[in-house]
Amino acid sequence: MTAAGYLRRMTRMLVEDLEVSDAAEIADESRSQGAQQASDCCRGEQVRIFGELRSVEMCSKNGKTGVVAEFFDGTDTVKLKWLGRNRIPGIEPGRKLWVSGRVGEIDGVKVIFNPYYDLAGD
């Protein structure tokens, strides 16, 4: 490899969109775990997917929305909704986990209500 080629490659790596590289890394990890891909999941299908929580919203004690999380496996986003819960220990942004449940759809967004989950070891 020439010095110019090396410099070009290093420059591209430095300016590459971090979200794209992060998505590719998460998708590769999900595939290596043998999980279904969220992009392949359809409404009504029972799934078991692996990925990371991007955001988590917890309702107040008076709220009735429950816990809502944005789950991302590198291919697509799935909204997770635990109804009737104010807080769930271990469910926090950046956490990797396995999620199982039946896929639904609300306004074109994939959603799983009250999913089963297994926190991935660190």
For the chain, domain boundaries: 3-119
Domain spanning 3-119 has what CATH number? 2.40.50.140
The yes-or-no verdict on residue 48 having pLDDT over 60 is yes
Confidence of residue 101 (pLDDT cuts 50, 70, 90): very high
Taking residues 82-108, what's their average pLDDT? Answer: 92
The predicted structure's pLDDT at residue 44: 94
The predicted structure's pLDDT at residue 14: 62
Burial annotation 65-101 (CB, 10 A radius, 16+ → b, else e) = ebbbbbbbbbbbebbbbbeeeeeeeebeeeebbbbeb
Q: What is the pTM of this model?
A: 0.78
Confidence of residue 6 (pLDDT cuts 50, 70, 90): confident
